[in-house]
Chains A and B, each alone.
Chain A
Amino acid sequence: MNRQRIFEIVCVIALVIFIGFMSGESSYSDKTAAEVAETVTESYDVSELRHIKKNKIKEEFGIDFTLVDSFEYYASDSIMTVDELMIIKLKEEVRPEEISAKIEKRVTDKQTLFEGYAPEQSALLKEYILTYDKGFIFYAVGKGADEALAAFKSSVR
């Protein structure tokens, strides 16, 4: 067997191993945003928040809904309450960067707004959590955000 053939076979084996690794590590959850939110809201209090509809999110964040499979969003009606929870399930094969960047920009804008005159809100906004896992974007601001993140991580698996 020549050297090239050996390398070709090594590559085939490497491909099989890689596929095995990738298949074991699913990157897209089959749960819906509502299912995940149900678990997350057990550790994040949304009783003071309102369940927000699509148009409002589009207006606030400028999110392109052609990229979104499903979503859940809770925020307050009061402009002085910065607590909010958003769980977005992206369509399969959609990368999170575009929407994450829009959420980040919104947080930055809010930080600028509160900085200097509302220290408590400003501090909460600085501690915002924005992450992506298994096809979901998770965004939370507020006192229970860390616990909500843990619930989110276990829920999407």
Chain B
Amino acid sequence: MVFSSAVFLFVFFPLMLVLYFLPGFSKNPEKDMAKKNLVLCLASLIFYAWGEPVYIVLMLISIFFNYNLGIDIENHKNSRKKRKSLLIFGVAFNLFMLGFFKYSGFIVDNINAVTGNEIEYEGLPLHVGISFYTFQILSYVIDVYKGEVKAQKNIVAFGAYISMFPQLIAGPIVQYSDIEKQLTSRTVTIEKFYEGIIYFIRGLGKKVLFANTIGAVYSQVIAGDIASLSVVSAWLAVICYTLQIYFDFSGYSDMAVGLGKMFGFEFVQNFNFPYKATSIKDFWSRWHISLSSWFRDYVYIPLGGNRKGTKRTIINTMIVWSLTGLWHGAAWNFIAWGIFYGVLLILEKYVLKDFLEKLPTAVKYMGTMIVVMIGWVFFSSASMGDALTLIGSMTGLGGSFIDSQAKYLLSENVFLILVMSLSATGVFDFVSNVRTGRTKKICESVLYLAIFTLCIAYLISETYNPFLYFRF
């Protein structure tokens, strides 16, 4: 099920809200919270089962296993050796699950390519959200091992954390330590609920009005032979994808944060205007923040971070970025995309630092955007070959500089691109922050009601549009 669908907006979500806020069977706040967690957990499982019901089994196995493992680790707090072996067991179990269901085909293909064998394997249906919830589970298991959080003794609360539908499918990746207290104590005020609605509608608007619209332009450009695209068409495709992925993914994150608020949770913000970045490091401190934080906390720092000299820092950076690429997908173009960023971050830090610091901000901004867009070419392409072909077309290897399709699409969409570009850099948020107080709230409510109405109109006429990050 997706948030931007009629069944979610008009059936699932209202029903869930009613059940969630129905008075508890006890005035005891603990029991009321237990009921809320139960509703959240069951609804999340239904939400998840909607697309591919068979994988609900895997999620239940994962919940039961890690719930027991957490308690097991905590019960051995006096035996470091036992705790460590349980941690290794748990990490291996979870990574095996992720590896098998996401990467087995990729691994077998590569073994076949290298050895010349023809090992056969059965393709598996996409296990939506597995990368996100596995990372959440790993944060829990590792933090329990380190003693930074207590093992969750209530399986319903634990199940609610793992399966929580607002962020289950495409993040943000919520670390257990950030949400531990909220699982047992959280409040929903009218203010917070209103804020949640605003976040949700903003995300819905980003997805339905912006991402889907610009996504259609992108599909139109690359529908033909990408090797013969004109320079302008190729750049237009990349610009459209750059805008689409931001509005699609940040739209989903906004909706997740908004839904979380409506249920009393505070999730981490996943985006902070990444297209305003003036360096690659700056970009990654603003894009998919929860993933960057996860890799920093659970891979980069445990590997030694930057504490063991330059050589080791470079190796650690490359490991983290190769894994970041691999996390996004089981294909070489994703790994290349990760390595691309690893190399750029190293160059930025050790080679170009002094030179870059002297550049005017506008040049730094333009340079960062061009690099990010080239990165999206690797990310959006079906294979490395396609990515290199598109880059070839962007540099003029494909054919003419501009063709009639490019002229038509540009003239039709230049306003949309302009509005989306300004919106992506936060200009409209700045404008909306000018006024404060009651007037602002009235204006805001009217504006968001209008956005919601427009989205509904689009959803009725449009067909199913999944989020890009679903596949990761």
Contact = CB atoms under 8 A, between A and B. Distances in A.
Interface of A: 2-5, 7-8, 10-12, 14-15, 18-19, 22-28, 30, 54-55, 58, 62, 64-66, 91-95, 97-98, 100-102, 104-105, 135
Main SS of chain A's interface residues? Answer: helix
Contact of A97 (B89, B122, B219, B466): B466
A27 B125 contact: yes
8 interchain residue pairs of minimum CB distance: A28-B123, A101-B463, A11-B65, A101-B464, A26-B122, A4-B72, A7-B68, A4-B68
B23 to A, nearest CB: 34
A7 B470 CA distance: 31
Main SS of chain B's interface residues? Answer: helix
A27 B65 contact: no
Nearest to B329: A93
B223 interface: yes
Nearest to A91: B382
B463 A104 contact: yes
Interface residues of B, number: 34
Interface in B63-80: 64-65, 68-69, 71-72, 75
A154 B106 CA distance: 27
A39 to B, nearest CB: 20
B93 interface: yes
A92 B105 CA distance: 10
A110 B37 CA distance: 46
Interface string B36-69: 0000000000000001001001100100110011
A38 to B, nearest CB: 21
Interface of B: 51, 54, 57-58, 61, 64-65, 68-69, 71-72, 75, 89, 93, 97, 100, 105, 122-126, 216, 219, 222-224, 382, 463-466, 470-471
Nearest to B151: A4
A10 B97 CA distance: 15
A135 B123 contact: yes
Nearest to B73: A4
Nearest to A7: B68
Nearest to A29: B123
A14 B64 CA distance: 11
Max chain B C-beta neighbours (<10 A), residue from A19, A25, A58, A102: A19
B219 A95 contact: no
Contact of A4 (B58, B69, B126, B222): B69
A22 B126 contact: no
